[in-house]
Amino acid sequence: MSESRELRIGEVAKLAGTTPRTIRYYEEIGLLPTAGGREPGAHRTYAGADVERLTDLLRLKDLLGVSLEELKELVEAEGALLELVQRRREEIAKLETELTVA
């Protein structure tokens, strides 16, 4: 699938094996980011990465046997963990720079 091609919600649903209604609901409860940059009444458009993210969420839900609320908690924890890792990487890079300059 081409990363640059914009997909409509029906195409995303078909590729992910779900329904447009599920996608809208996942957006509504914060599991997926809303399709950004669209005018009121315009069609939602998505990228290939959105399809992958949705597919991952659907698989995780089934694999772990969790509720949507639990899945949302996992997604939020993932975001916090990624932020922590990024901060630590920046701190390590700063220390490495300080050590090589000294």
CATH number of the domain that 14 lies in?
A: 1.10.1660.10
**Per-residue DSSP letters for 13-40?**
HHHHTS-HHHHHHHHHTTSS----S--T
Residue 90 lies in a domain: yes
Whole-number Å distance between alpha carbons of 61 and 54: 11
Q: Distance between CA 23 and CA 31 in Å, rounded?
A: 9
- Residue pair 42/76 in contact by the 8 Å Cβ criterion: no
Looking at the domain assignment, is residue 92 inside a domain? Answer: yes
| 56 in a structural domain | yes
Q: How many domains does the chain have?
A: 1
In this predicted structure, what is the pLDDT of residue 62? Answer: 95
For residue 2, being part of any structural domain is answered with no
Q: Which two tokens stand for residue 10?
A: 């029906």
Residue 37 placed within a domain: yes
Find the domain containing 96 and state its range: 7-101
Q: What is the pLDDT along the chain (102 residues), one digit of tens a residue?
A: 445 689 999 999 999 999 999 999 999 998 998 766 556 667 888 999 999 999 999 999 999 999 999 999 999 999 899 999 999 999 999 999 999 986
- Give the SS3 label for residue 83: helix
pLDDT of residue 36: 61
- Please give the model's pTM, rounded to 2 decimal places: 0.73
Give domain status of residue 44, yes or no.
Answer: yes
Nearest one of 97, 5, 100 to 51, comparing CA atoms: 5
Is residue 1 included in any domain, yes or no?
no
